[in-house]
Structure 1
């Protein structure tokens, strides 16, 4: 029966979005006829896409008012491909790809789905309007957090048109003994002169400059507040050190350098921004930290998953879908994202309650392994497809609170 469903998925990148690759591989195993459009035939995941079992095409999505002829050519090329493949469903994952796809599929019959990876475009009036205005009456959305779903419903979209499915990934390497992930990797700690007795707090992520056209005054990941909070916390507990692993996204380092200069000169050995490091080092980044901190301006559920899997206590905020994972007093700790003094107080509180912090982190790890399990989330996508096609399905919206009640009655 699944072979009767033909799906076209549109993917923005072959450098990342491994979750989309895992999703497609599962759908192919379930018998879905999947056709994938990639932006290019390079990138570290391209060969894995070729091996996924899906039919692969490459077509650059261009949607640039400064290049109208290239944009039109790209739209017409995609339209021809849609007519050729004749899918039942077109499934896109990113905002620009979705708008490009909607223009290319104007008056064509496939049901169109936008699986929304993050809420950023919905938090700004112009981009939210473009999303809602370009959709037709039978278009659907798959929200990657309850927070995103609520934003669509508040915008007037009927709840029946918005499903929920968290973006899953292959976390099988973390499904091992709990003690394995408590082990420390001292490579970066030693590299930057930190002692075993130091309490190292930080995160592993790209650094994104403020998007001034969106009114941002600090970077998307809010390094400014995290750095200042660690400065303040160090006044009471000098063993605290800050380690922010990762560099600025793209080719420039100007904003990364600006962040470094914002650290007082006498604190620059205690609060370190590594810049870009080899992937092999970044993969072990969490094991160099004692505590993780993540205070983004906009987020679905990212940034707190990997530290929980690595069993590092997480201090985060109420941004987006984060409270769906980080539940104060059970899986982690919630604080302000704007007030460095409050964040510093929370850091000191968590350090004083280390035993509870470790216990909460184990709860969080178990939740993540269930909530973001790729087999579970990809099956949800399959059931959503069946629902759209009016085929018998067993789709049920996931609830982290229900899971926690089930495992801790």
Structure 2
């Protein structure tokens, strides 16, 4: 079976790679359509030998003749490729594919990497009708699936499967590796270390106006409160701005919270491998205002307990033994959770959460298991008997 996979980025979206590899392992032909230009996703797909084609559509919806011409070129490309299934991620890609495939007999699958676009009332209203053009919507979290149910999406055209995390790549380290990671970062064994790994995104105009969706500002404000009582602590922020606007937002946060003058905070940009920071961490923090599962999956796979906001799918990433859930945007609640984790660190109880964190992610969010479920759904939607029926579609997010 020929499957075309389409995304709006050549940089992010590396979570599609296990799905692509699983489909190819089963003998399916997979072609990935990406925007022109370099990016880490393109590099990873190239190393795996996956065929790629530059998208003629530039993923900007403006009422111009150029937009119409790009959509027509995309339609011609998809007709030439003659796929049985087009599998698309990101809302802009979904809109482009839906418009380009009007009137064509091709199975369409939209896999939703996060709920942010559904938090805009106008977009959510439009999506109630536009999603009817999809044969199947695969929600990346149980939370997103519930949003589609509230929009009257039929159960037989809806599944909930996470993108997951590579639990072989992200795994707990031994004591010697942890000690070495701390030495490299200049962190004594008795210092409590919190890590937040996330790109900085500029504030959006249609949702969460004026604030970054990842909640860096919430954590930095909570950290100020927390360190008044627990000064022997260190916060490590990992990640640059997603784009030029995101980098400007990051620099504004550095200025607003005077990070350069705070010896308890470090912010590292340009990091390729975050595992060294999880090796040194005692807790991971994900204070997002909107999120699918985010960095909490990588942290949990590494055996690091998490403090997460109750936004989107984040509460699905922890249980009572592996972490804490706090109200979105609540600075004092986040500071209190940090104090609770710190108290457990001092008593030695925090380390007991590590096996529970690892087990929760391994059982529910292993990317290999999730990719097999997605491949089953793609093959079924494309009219082929799936190679694997190891578990039902909704099982991984439980």
Same fold (TM over 0.5): yes
Give the equivalent residue in structure 2 for 1:213. 206
Of 181, 184, 187 in structure 2, the residue corresponding to residue 185 of structure 1 is 181
CA apart distance, 1:292: 1.5
Give the equivalent residue in structure 2 for 1:125. 121
Of 237, 253, 265 in structure 2, the residue corresponding to residue 271 of structure 1 is 265
Of 358, 363, 379 in structure 1, the residue corresponding to residue 351 of structure 2 is 358
Give the equivalent residue in structure 1 for 2:330. 339
CA apart distance, 1:157: 0.9
CA apart distance, 1:181: 6.5
In structure 2, C-alpha distance between the alignment counterparts of 1:266 and 1:35, rounded to whole Å: 46
Of 353, 359, 371 in structure 1, the residue corresponding to residue 364 of structure 2 is 371
Of 215, 230, 237 in structure 2, the residue corresponding to residue 237 of structure 1 is 230
TM normalised by structure 2 equals: 0.89
Alpha carbons of structure 1 residues 233 and 45: separation in structure 2 relative to 1, 3 Å: closer
Alpha carbons of structure 1 residues 295 and 181: separation in structure 2 relative to 1, 3 Å: farther
In structure 2, C-alpha distance between the alignment counterparts of 1:310 and 1:246, rounded to whole Å: 18
After superposition, residues 41-80 of structure 1 pair within 5 angstroms as 42-50=38-46, 52=48, 54-66=50-62, 68-80=64-76
In structure 1, C-alpha distance between the alignment counterparts of 2:279 and 2:149, rounded to whole Å: 40
Secondary structure at 2:240 match in 1: coil
In structure 2, C-alpha distance between the alignment counterparts of 1:401 and 1:43, rounded to whole Å: 29
In structure 2, C-alpha distance between the alignment counterparts of 1:71 and 1:181, rounded to whole Å: 52
Secondary structure at 1:109 match in 2: coil
In structure 2, C-alpha distance between the alignment counterparts of 1:37 and 1:265, rounded to whole Å: 40
Does residue 1:322 correspond to 2:314, yes or no?
Answer: yes
Number of residue pairs aligned between Structure 1 and Structure 2: 392
Deviates more, 1:236-245 or 1:58-67: 58-67
Question: Could you tell me whether the CA contact under 8 Å between 1:263 and 1:271 is conserved in 2?
Answer: no
Question: Could you tell me whether the CA contact under 8 Å between 1:8 and 1:35 is conserved in 2?
Answer: yes
Question: Could you tell me whether the CA contact under 8 Å between 1:295 and 1:316 is conserved in 2?
Answer: yes
CA apart distance, 1:85: 1.9
In structure 2, C-alpha distance between the alignment counterparts of 1:107 and 1:401, rounded to whole Å: 34
CA deviation vs aligned residue, 1:80-108 (integer Å, no higher than 9, x gap) = 12212222211101110110111111111
Does residue 1:246 correspond to 2:239, yes or no?
Answer: yes
Of 298, 303, 307 in structure 2, the residue corresponding to residue 311 of structure 1 is 303
Give the equivalent residue in structure 2 for 1:260. 254
Deviates more, 1:200-209 or 1:86-95: 200-209
Secondary structure at 1:203 match in 2: strand
Deviates more, 1:83-92 or 1:248-257: 248-257
Secondary structure at 2:40 match in 1: coil
In structure 2, C-alpha distance between the alignment counterparts of 1:398 and 1:139, rounded to whole Å: 17
In structure 1, C-alpha distance between the alignment counterparts of 2:43 and 2:230, rounded to whole Å: 49
Q: Where in structure 1 are there 5+ consecutive unaligned residues?
A: 403-409
CA deviation vs aligned residue, 1:325-384 (integer Å, no higher than 9, x gap) = 2112x2211223322222212211122223443222321212323433232112111211
Give the equivalent residue in structure 2 for 1:227. 220
Question: Could you tell me whether the CA contact under 8 Å between 2:19 and 2:375 is conserved in 1?
Answer: no
Q: Where in structure 2 are there 5+ consecutive unaligned residues?
A: none
Alpha carbons of structure 1 residues 316 and 184: separation in structure 2 relative to 1, 3 Å: farther
CA apart distance, 1:34: 1.8
Secondary structure at 2:181 match in 1: coil
Question: Could you tell me whether the CA contact under 8 Å between 2:36 and 2:55 is conserved in 1?
Answer: yes
Secondary structure at 1:172 match in 2: coil
Does residue 1:108 correspond to 2:104, yes or no?
Answer: yes
In structure 1, C-alpha distance between the alignment counterparts of 2:175 and 2:380, rounded to whole Å: 42
In structure 1, C-alpha distance between the alignment counterparts of 2:96 and 2:311, rounded to whole Å: 29
Question: Could you tell me whether the CA contact under 8 Å between 1:222 and 1:297 is conserved in 2?
Answer: yes
Alpha carbons of structure 1 residues 96 and 33: separation in structure 2 relative to 1, 3 Å: same
TM normalised by structure 1 equals: 0.86
In structure 2, C-alpha distance between the alignment counterparts of 1:237 and 1:177, rounded to whole Å: 26
CA apart distance, 1:388: 2.1
Question: Could you tell me whether the CA contact under 8 Å between 1:61 and 1:97 is conserved in 2?
Answer: no
Give the equivalent residue in structure 1 for 2:15. 19
Secondary structure at 1:269 match in 2: coil
CA apart distance, 1:300: 0.9
